[in-house]
Structure 1
C-alpha cells in the first residue's frame, strides 16, 4: 500500500506532476493566462479485472494582487480507502506572471504521518536558488539548492507544460529540466510521443498529446516510476489522463470535468 501512496504523491498530488520540456525552445508566441480555473480528477486503481475509484483531487489556480498566480492541488482518498491508508495531501504554489515559482509548499498527511515542506525561490546570474525547510514531528531540516537556468517545483512546471507549442516539438525526442523538491534537485526527462485518442471514465473520447516523463536523482537513479500523461489538444491543454504502474496493476488519474471542443 505504501508504494501505491508514493504514486499518489506524484500523480494525484502531482498531477502537476512536474513536466516541462525545454521552455526556451518550445514556448508559444503568446503564453496562456488564467483568471481562475478549477479541474477535478478521479483516481482509479486497476488490478486485472478490478477497477476501484480510490481517491479524488482538485487543482485550482487564480490571479494574485501582484499580477502573479496562486495554485493549489488537494488530494484525498475516498471512504473505503481511508480504512486502509487515509491520505490528505496538499500542494501550494505562488508564481510570477511567467509561471516561474516564488514559493512552493507541500503538506502531507498520510495515516499517522505528518510533514510540511517549504521552498522559497530566488533568481540571480542565470541561476535559480531554493531555500528549503522541511518540518517533521521531531525535527526541522534546512537545505539550500541551486541550478543553472530556470528550475521549477511540482506545481509551476505543470503550468509551463500547458504553455508549450507541441507543434514545434519533435516526436520521440527527450527534453530535460530541473525540479526542486523539499530536499533535493530532481532531473525531469520528458519524451513527446505524438497525438492519440484517449477515453475517459464517462466513455467520451478525446484527442490528446501523449507525453512520458521520468524523475531521476544523483545522476540516473530513478526517484519514481515512469508516468504517461495525456493533455487535450484543444486550447485549454487540459490534462485528461495520467497513468502509472504499480507492483501489481496500475493507477489512472482521470479528468472529471467538461472539455471544450
Structure 2
C-alpha cells in the first residue's frame, strides 16, 4: 500500500474508532423516535493531511427493507481526490442495513478498491442467536466463511455512527468515560470514550459550538499518544460530525464536514 493509501486507510479507521467508541451506555442514548437523523440526509467530508486535501467521502441515509424488516440503509463512498488520483487511486464503498427499531446492525458490506488491491466483505449479524457470519473475497479469491459468537448487543462501524448521532450528551460530564465492546474487521474490541466538554469550533460549515470527545484505543502501531483521536460533534439538534483529527506516526490527518443537505433540523449547507 502506498503512503497516500495508508493515510486514507488510517483516516477511515479514525472515523470507525470514533463511531464505535460512541456507542455509549444505554442511559445516555435517546429513544429512536428522538433520532437526530432522517432518511435523505447526505453529508460530504474532505480528508486532509496537513494543509493538503487528499480525499473526499460522502455519507447518505435512506430507508429500505432487509429480510422484510424495516431498516436504515447507510452508504459511505470515499476515495482520493484531485491530482492524487493519478498517483494513488482509492475507491472504497461501505453499505449497511441497520434495524430501525433498535439501531442494531443486520448486514454490512464493504467494497475496497485501492490500486490493484481489491477486497469485498459481507457481514451478517443475527441479534437473536448472537452470531456473526463473515464472507470475504480478496483479489477475486473467496476466503472460507467464518463465524463469531458474542453476548449482549453488538454494534459495528455504521450502526455505531447512528448511535453517535443519538447520544444525549447533556447527561455526560467532563471526564466521564464510557467503555464497551464492539466488532470490527473480524475482531472484538474493548473501546472507551472520554467526554471533554464543549468548545467553539471554526469549520467549513460555519462557527459552531461542539461536543469534544476522545476515544480510548487498544495499543496499535498506527496512532500516537494517549488520546490520538479527537472528534467534534455539533452541539445542536442534528449532532453532526464536524471534524475528526488523528495523530499518526507520520503526521496529523483530519476528516472535516464541508457540506450537508436534507438534515432533520435547519437548512442545507452546500
TM-score normalized by the length of structure 1: 0.86
- Aligned CA RMSD, in angstroms, stands at 2.3
- Between the aligned partners of 1:18 and 1:224, the Cα distance in structure 2 is 17
Give the number of the structure whose residues are more often helix, by fraction. Answer: 2
**Matches of 2:14 and 2:78 in 1, distance apart?**
10
* Equivalent residue, structure 2, for 1:118: 122
Deviations 1:59-78 (A, max 9, x none): 00111244321000100101
- Corresponding residue number in structure 1 for 2:210: 208
CA distance in 2: counterparts of 1:120 and 1:223, whole angstroms = 29
C-alpha displacement at 1:20, in angstroms? 2.4
- 1:170 aligned residue (166, 170, 173): 173
Contact 1:129 1:147 survives alignment (8 Å): yes
Runs of 5+ in structure 1 lacking a partner? none
Q: Distance in 1 between matches of 2:77 and 2:184?
A: 17
Q: Quote the offset at 1:4 in angstroms.
A: 1.1
Alignment CA distance shift 1:230-1:78 (3 Å): same
Q: Deviations over 1:19-61 (max 9, x none)?
A: 3242412112553052321011111110xxxx11111100001
1:77 and 2:74 aligned: no
Deviation at 1:223, TM superposition (A): 7.2
Q: Who is 1:86 aligned against?
A: 89
Show CA shifts across 1:183-216 (max 9, x none).
Answer: 22122221111111111136x3110011111443
Aligned residues: 249
Unaligned ranges ≥5, structure 2? none
SS class of match (1:256): strand
Q: Scaled by the length of structure 2, what TM-score is found? A: 0.84
Structure 1 residues 173, 223: closer, same or farther in 2, change over 3 A? farther
Query: Pairwise mapping of residues 186-205 of structure 1 onto structure 2 (< 5 A)?
Result: 186-201=189-204, 204-205=206-207
Pick from 223, 234, 237: which aligns with 1:235?
237
TM-aligned CA deviation for residue 16 of structure 1 = 7.3
Question: Equivalent residue for 2:144?
Answer: 141
